[in-house]
């Protein structure tokens, strides 16, 4: 299975959990918590198979891609304005083999996952901005985090906002310039500056995982046979809830 197909399988699994419209958040996500603790919460999500919102989807997406060291993951946050109110949303940015995409959950199908086809980070961000315009939302701020280490036992917290852009006060050419500089720094495995447009910046150290020191501990997704002979996604060790909905593809032996 190719990386794009694997990412699509993860997104399909998230969609099967469904978006949480209840108004009650089933899983507590504290952004300052160490990555190891957040991965335990992600395991709980797979056991309980309850509906999730955007922040929970980011944590689950990180957990499900930990076994793919060639896939870089980083949070992308949006602050938008509509009808006198401000709204916040977050997705998991993906970078692999020179292309960008995303995983996530939203009430709107075009504000969550994006295919791994965008040549630049700015192309991906502008795609989200254009999608927001369809719903009359104006994007005020975009925040980009650092690559998340592939070490699930790391005590390091996720860096959620290494780059902060007040896009409503910037020309697209300026936004593109800042995004591409940040993306270039990330690809070079150098800790980029904490940059807030219009203010000073201070530099951060690179993550050990970004220097090739991460220890990946893949888990194996297995295919089981459903009644009637159809193929469905089976249990993942440890603690991955069995899905009863049939899949049209097999993922036997794929790293999780």
Q: How far, in Å, CA of 242 to CA of 234, rounded?
A: 5
Alpha helices in 135-216 (DSSP H): 172-187
Residue 213 backbone phi and psi in degrees, to 5: -105, 5
Active site members = 54, 89, 106
Residues facing 77 on adjacent strands = 90, 143
* Contact status, residue 172 vs residue 163, Cβ threshold 8 Å: no
Q: How many CB atoms lie within 10 A of CB 109?
A: 9
Helix axes 3-17, 54-64, angle to 10 degrees: 140
Task: Find the length of the chain.
Answer: 256
Look at residues 53, 52, 49, 70 and name the one whose alpha carbon lies nearest to residue 7.
Answer: 70
Reference 148, options 129, 162, 164, 128; nearest CA is 162
């Amino acid at each position: 299975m190719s990386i794009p197909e694997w990412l699509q399988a993860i997104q399909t699994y998230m969609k099967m959990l469904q978006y949480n419209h209840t108004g009650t958040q089933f899983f507590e996500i504290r952004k300052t918590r160490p990555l190891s603790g957040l991965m335990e919460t992600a395991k709980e999500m797979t056991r309980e198979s309850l509906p999730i919102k955007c922040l929970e989807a980011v944590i689950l997406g990180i957990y499900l891609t930990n076994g793919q060291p060639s896939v870089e993951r980083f949070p992308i946050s949006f602050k938008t304005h509509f009808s006198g109110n401000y709204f916040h949303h977050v997705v998991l940015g993906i970078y692999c083999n020179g292309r960008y995409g995303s995983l996530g959950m939203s009430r709107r199908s075009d504000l969550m996952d994006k295919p791994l086809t965008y040549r630049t980070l700015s192309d991906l961000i502008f795609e989200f901005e254009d999608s927001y315009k369809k719903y009359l939302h104006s994007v005020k701020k975009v925040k980009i985090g650092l690559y998340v280490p592939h070490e699930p036992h790391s005590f390091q917290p996720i860096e959620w906002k290494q780059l902060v852009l007040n896009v409503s006060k910037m020309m697209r050419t300026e936004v593109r310039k800042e995004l591409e500089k940040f993306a270039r720094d990330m690809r070079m495995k150098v800790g980029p500056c904490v940059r807030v447009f219009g203010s000073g910046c201070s530099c951060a150290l690179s993550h050990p995982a970004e220097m090739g020191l991460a220890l990946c501990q893949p888990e194996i997704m297995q295919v089981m046979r459903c009644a009637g002979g159809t193929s469905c996604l089976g249990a993942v060790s440890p603690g991955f809830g069995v899905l009863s909905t049939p899949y049209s593809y097999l993922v036997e032996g794929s790293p999780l």
